[in-house]
Chains A and B, each alone.
Chain A
Amino acid sequence: MTAWLVRRLLWSMLVLVIVSGVTFTIFFAIPANPAELIAGKYASKQTIASIEKRLGLDQPKPVQFVRFLGRAAIGDWGFSYTSQQQVREAIGQAFPKTLSLTFGAVVVWLLLGIPIGVISALKPRSLWDRLAMIFALIGISAPAYWLGLVFLKVFSDMLGWFPLGDYAEIAQGGWGAWAHHLALPWVTLALLYAGWYARMTRAEVMHVSSMDYVRTARAKGLSPSTVVWKHVLRNALLPIVTMLGMDVAYLFGGAVLTETVFGIPGIGGLAWRAIRQRDLPMVMGTVLFAAIFIVVANLLVDIVYTFLDPRIKVEA
């Protein structure tokens, strides 16, 4: 078991190294010299050369890559080429916003998706089920940024219920302003996910309901609600929890489109700006930051499943 864990951990780290390699290689191809970006338009050749030297840009690319990995491993993610801010600091400032967006969206989509899925599964082919599945289909098919614009038009511009974008710090405006500003982004992001959760919940509940032990429970004379709550949901929701873990990990890396439309200065926006400005350290930082969550979530799911389900064999 320990051997398996260690091996699995090492693989995860290797995946992160490859992620860095892929990102680095993509930006390898950029013709622009980052030193020129930093020095500005009118810098002399000497200034550019000294900046190149300071940042190690005069070294061969593989050397630069290995140096980056070495520094990243001990927590030094470097400085932004454009704002001179520490990458870690910039991520640290952006992450609470992304966290706020994700947290609220998760609550909304669980409250929408799971009840819709359960009711649909209990009354398959009913009118409710049809309507619910149409709702789910629209949710998974709508472009996030467009949905955001439609909501802004209807609920902010026409009805005036919510502010037109922007992010309100809890420290400044309190919890009320924070939630008020985030309500539309939460709903936008949540609708994209609620559809998947409704469909998944429906499928799982229907699958579990058809199993023998549920039939036994019914045959024992248990009330329908006891069967649903105690026997069906407990098992049906297990895969949903896994999915939730993966989705939350994914969203911690930033929701570029939602953040862009609503002007939320989160990780997604940070990464997007960095890519546009060819700010390599910031790109590496944000991509690695997002990848770490995904890799760790994968690892956790594997470990939890291995512990929970003795049928999964551990190959050491």
Chain B
Amino acid sequence: MSATALDPGSAAAEQVVAPFRSPWRDTLRRFGQDRWALAGLVFLLALHLLALGAPWFVPHVLGQDAFRQHMMDKITVAGRPVDVVSEDGLPIGPSPGFPLGADLSGRDVLSRVIYGARVSLLVSLLGTALALALGLVVGLISGFYRGIADTILSRFVDAMMAIPILLLAIALASVLRGGSVWIVILILGLVNWTYLARIIRAEVLSLRERDFVEAARAVGAGDAAILFRHLMPNLVGPVIVFATLSMAGNILLESALSFLGVGIQPPVPSWGNMIQEGMSFYNVAWWITLFPGLAILLTVVSFNLVGDGLRDAIEPGSRDRRMS
């Protein structure tokens, strides 16, 4: 009888007959059984494709332009010509030519939500990458070398974490100004790495006492070999989980900064600045704020689903922070 024919829930049976499998194959299998996580993954893949293909998709499939203002234009709805933006300045709601309505300058909300995905995903992805680099370096140094370096770095991490994350981000944003995509990426990286640094430090502190590290030392492995060949592979799991969940956090943080007016600046559409632009009209032109918000919600839900799924598949893990 093969291992797969057994009841997958009976761990004991599996231990007896299962041949050696790489732990990563097991992880993948566990992840594959998580339907919610898979649904999140599918949504994210579709969203990334849409974001990448936006310059082709928006004009050719939607027949729209995310940046063109239709202030004076009329479209035909049910055989009658209708202003895209009325004389009172009220844009048209969801209708045939504008599936999710138009914004205050008569731009297509759907096209802008799709273009907004490009900005939000890119910024969050690179912000996460920067946080990974910083967090890994600081965590490894703290955990591996301990001593005075660890004391200094840990106190610094404590201090960074004692500043509310949104305040820190706003402060950096208003000082660095510019509001360019690169500045926002820098900010996301700078406020986020402390969480990873703590996780990595704790992992390394416990790993470095393990027998396989001692064995490596006994056969004469140097610090670099131990760090990169023996410790790093054991950190891949927590790093992947952190990266996925921090994507969720970064999407929220970027949109919050843009909403407050210190993130991505118009006319570049980001989900946050779309909500900000429509905020004062939320009661009459609700579609301007509703749909970018839904895009944020669905994307963050998906990253959380995938992140939770990965964490369950890799290891029981930690909590994330949130923004109020």
Contact = CB atoms under 8 A, between A and B. Distances in A.
Contact of A18 (B155, B164, B262, B300): B155
Interface in B272-324: 272, 275, 279, 282-283, 286, 289-290, 292-293, 296-297, 300-301, 304-305, 319-320, 322-324
A44 to B, nearest CB: 28
B322 A275 contact: no
A18 B152 CA distance: 11
A198 interface: no
Given A22-B160, A145-B275, A257 B301 contact: no
B61 interface: no
A23 B171 contact: yes
7 contacts: A22-B163, A27-B171, A141-B248, A149-B289, A153-B283, A193-B322, A250-B324
Contacts of A200: 319
B164 A14 contact: no
Interface of B is mostly: helix
Interface in A11-40: 11, 14-16, 18-19, 21-23, 26-27, 29-30
| Size range of the chain B interface in the assembly | 35 or more
A22 B293 CA distance: 33
Interface of A is mostly: helix
A179 interface: no
Interface of B: 155-156, 158-164, 166-167, 170-172, 174-176, 248, 252, 255-256, 259-260, 262, 272, 275, 279, 282-283, 286, 289-290, 292-293, 296-297, 300-301, 304-305, 319-320, 322-324
Interface in A209-260: 243, 250-251, 253-258, 260
A153 B289 CA distance: 11
A87 to B, nearest CB: 15
Most-contacted residue by chain B among A18, A30, A291, A294 (CB, 10 A): A18
B252 A143 contact: yes
Contacts of B259: 143, 145, 257
Given A152-B283, A196-B319, 12 more contacts: A11-B155, A21-B159, A26-B171, A27-B171, A30-B175, A141-B300, A142-B300, A146-B275, A146-B289, A152-B282, A276-B174, A291-B159
B293 A150 contact: yes
Interface of A: 11, 14-16, 18-19, 21-23, 26-27, 29-30, 137-138, 140-147, 149-150, 152-153, 157, 189, 192-193, 196, 200, 243, 250-251, 253-258, 260, 271-272, 275-276, 278, 283, 286-287, 290-291, 294-295, 298
A307 to B, nearest CB: 21
A23 B163 contact: yes
Contacts of A283: 171
A106 B91 CA distance: 39
